[in-house]
Amino acid sequence: MKFKELKKSFASGLNPIYLVCGDDAFLVSRATRLIIDACNIDEGLNLSNFEGGAVKGDVDGLLAALTSYPFFGDKRVVVLKEFYPLVADVKALKSYFENPCETTVFVIANLSKSDNILKLPNVTEVDCFKGDESVATMWIKSQATKGGVSITQSAIDKIVDYCYGDMTKINGETEKLVAYALTTGEITEKDVEELCVKELDYQTYEVVEFIASKKYEKAYACLTEIMSTTSDGQKLFVSLYYHYRRMLFSALSTLSDGEVAKHLKIKEFAVKMARRQAKAYSLKRLKQIVDTLTEYDEKFKQGYVDPSSAVWNAIFNVLTV
């Protein structure tokens, strides 16, 4: 199930084993907390935490916690973080997964999927991967309401864009904006523009947008700002290169945003943004740009040019194709 479906699912009862996984650490942490809260336990008595690295090769302590009865309560919760079991670990735990303890809720919280866990019975997967705009929108609105301020839809959209769908960053920027807006009572798009930090991916998106609309002075100003802020030409070049590749692949594919994201191993939000932006380019031009960037990627990897030169030379060639 998706993260946004988790809370509603509790109405039908708690499941014995959850695999909470995804590349958004904030959502993984939040989903884990929602499950713990739904169990309504005394955490000092009936919550056990384990780290995956400590459990690998020695699951006896984990099994003891999973099969223990709750103390002065109806449920126990066992949380295991970053657990990617080996074949031997799977064999040792298989009997528990086949017949889980009725009074224990077992939560495995990972930043990546584990096929070995998903193959086991009685596992409910909670998808916490980045890029669900509806979750981000609901979260921003709820935090603004809790803080006693209102927020415009355009401000919400800009926060999500600036943070490129990353909930950890969205949460941090929203907290900052709520604190700022306590005097005015409202968060506006202008507040976001003046106070929020733009992710490099979004800054790259801006550069590409300026190039597409032939606003070259703005593209140059944006690139100069990024270079002065990060002082990392290689990071900027890689971001630009992969951004155009993502645009080309997304434009060529007839698959859904989610399917493309899965194949490219990126977040769905990034595919949506890429497809939106690719409409300003012909497929031929996108292919020429990707070929040019690929050439410069090879050059700086082979030491023929430094990363900063690769950025500026590549941009110049992008403008002329």
**Residue ranges in 213-306 assigned as alpha helix (H):** 216-230, 233-252, 257-264, 268-278, 283-301
Quote the domain boundaries for residue 297. 200-320
Q: Do the beta carbons of residue 125 and residue 1 sit within 8 Å?
A: yes
102 and 138 assigned to the same domain = no
Cα–Cα distance, 64 to 92 (Å, whole number): 12
Taking the C-alpha atoms of residue 140 and residue 87, their distance in angstroms, rounded to an integer, is: 41
State the maximum Cα–Cα separation within the chain, in Å, rounded to a whole number.
Answer: 73
Residue 267: predicted pLDDT: 75
- Asked whether the predicted pLDDT for residue 321 surpasses 80, the reply is no
Q: pLDDT tens for residues 192-210?
A: 999 998 888 888 888 888 8
pLDDT score for 319: 65
How many structural domains compose the chain? 3
Q: Are residues 118 and 149 in the same domain?
A: no
For residue 229, pLDDT over 90 is answered with: no
15: alpha, beta or left? (left if phi > 0; alpha if psi -120 to 50) = beta
**In angstroms, rounded to a whole number, what is the distance separating the alpha carbons of residues 243 and 274?**
7
User: Last residue of a domain, which of 160, 195, 230?
Assistant: 195
Distance CA 253, CA 219 (A): 28
Task: Give this prediction's pTM.
Answer: 0.69
Distance CA 256, CA 135 (A): 19
Q: Which of 164, 180, 195 is the last residue of a domain?
A: 195
Give the end of a domain, one of 90, 108, 127: 127
User: pLDDT tens, 145-184?
Assistant: 999 999 999 999 999 988 888 888 899 999 999 999 998 8
Which pLDDT value is given to residue 198?
A: 84
Task: Say if CB 72 and CB 40 are below 8 A apart.
Answer: no
3-state secondary structure of 152: coil
Read off the DSSP letter of residue 75.
-
- 26: CATH: 3.40.50.300
What's the pLDDT score for residue 231? 67
Q: What is the pLDDT of residue 131?
A: 62
**CATH number of 245's domain:** 1.20.272.10
If asked whether residues 111 and 171 sit together in one domain, one would say no
CATH number of the structural domain spanning residue 172: 1.10.8.60
> Could you tell me if 221 and 298 lie in one domain?
yes
* pLDDT for the residue numbered 237: 81
Q: 149 and 88: one domain?
A: no
